[in-house]
Amino acid sequence: MNVILQPFLMSDLYHIPDEVLWSRVTGNDEQAFAELFGRYWQAALQEAIRKTGNDADAMDCTQELFIRLWNQRHLLQVNGCFSTFLYSTLKIRIISHFRASVSRIAGSRSYRPRQAEHIGGLHKMQAKEVAWLLEAEVQRMPGRMQQIYRMSRQQFLSVQDIAGTLSLSEQTVKNQLTSALKRLRQAVAHYEDALAPLMLVAPLIMISI
């Protein structure tokens, strides 16, 4: 199927909701897929560029996204908003793309520790993946815990200031932060021997409360 190679504008389908179009895609409707592709290709590519910082990687990830959507159309279930599903799937594709790149570099026979360019690229990919893993875990936190964590690590407020703003005891704030940091450390535990990711996350999960 070559429909994913370039965007198409299906003027007779423009008024149909995304979710209805996707239901048609699961029934092998290529025109419905082309319409969804036309609606989201450019936005998905720009999001991939923002997350990867590299046009070539972004193009690869976006192509892989739409190829997967078509090839697995009978298996993928969209519950709720199609665009939310699309961007969540794109994030997964980007992480998978970076992991594959890391595996190729580490498994290459020509790999040597002194190849600084490769090592630098590996660290950048690891750092980006860690950042996404952390943010995903933060978003899964209960509302109050997430609020306290963001106030501490993103707004740089002290425990005392957070407690005063939220009308909570300082001990409650400390307990919530302790639980939040424990969750984040677990989320990136498999990076414990990687220097670059640890340098990235240290201010977020390793500095004492």
Query: Which tokens go with 142?
Result: 């209960």
Q: Are residues 84 and 103 in the same domain?
A: yes
The number of residues making up the chain comes to 209
Q: Are residues 47 and 71 in the same domain?
A: yes
Average pLDDT over residues 25-34: 89
pLDDT of residue 4: 40
Pick the last residue of a domain from 54, 80, 111: 111
Pick the last residue of a domain from 68, 91, 111: 111
Domain of 38, in residue numbers: 15-111
What is the count of structural domains for the chain?
2
Q: What ranges make up the beta strands (E) of 18-142?
A: none
| Interval 116-172: pLDDT, tens | 343 345 456 666 677 778 888 888 999 999 999 988 877 778 899 999 999 999 999
Q: Are residues 106 and 139 in the same domain?
A: no
Query: Which tokens go with 186?
Result: 């677990």
Q: Which residues contact residue 205 at a Cβ distance below 8 angstroms, ignoring those fewer than 6 apart?
A: 134, 181, 184, 185, 188
CATH code of 100's domain: 1.10.1740.10
> CB–CB of 90/65 below 8 Å?
yes
Alpha-carbon gap, residue 4 to 174, rounded angstroms: 50
In a domain, 52, yes or no: yes
> CB–CB of 185/205 below 8 Å?
yes
In a domain, 9, yes or no: no
Q: Are residues 22 and 92 in the same domain?
A: yes
| Interval 46-83: pLDDT, tens | 898 888 877 888 888 888 889 889 988 988 888 889 99
In a domain, 10, yes or no: no
In a domain, 6, yes or no: no
Place of tokens 């895609």: 25
Average pLDDT over residues 95-105: 60
> CB–CB of 179/172 below 8 Å?
no
Alpha-carbon gap, residue 135 to 132, rounded angstroms: 5
Q: Are residues 80 and 124 in the same domain?
A: no
In order of 36, 37, 70, 208, the CA distances from 74 in angstroms are: 16, 17, 9, 48
Alpha-carbon gap, residue 183 to 174, rounded angstroms: 14
Query: Which tokens go with 19?
Result: 């979710």
Q: Give pTM, 2 decimals.
A: 0.47
In a domain, 3, yes or no: no
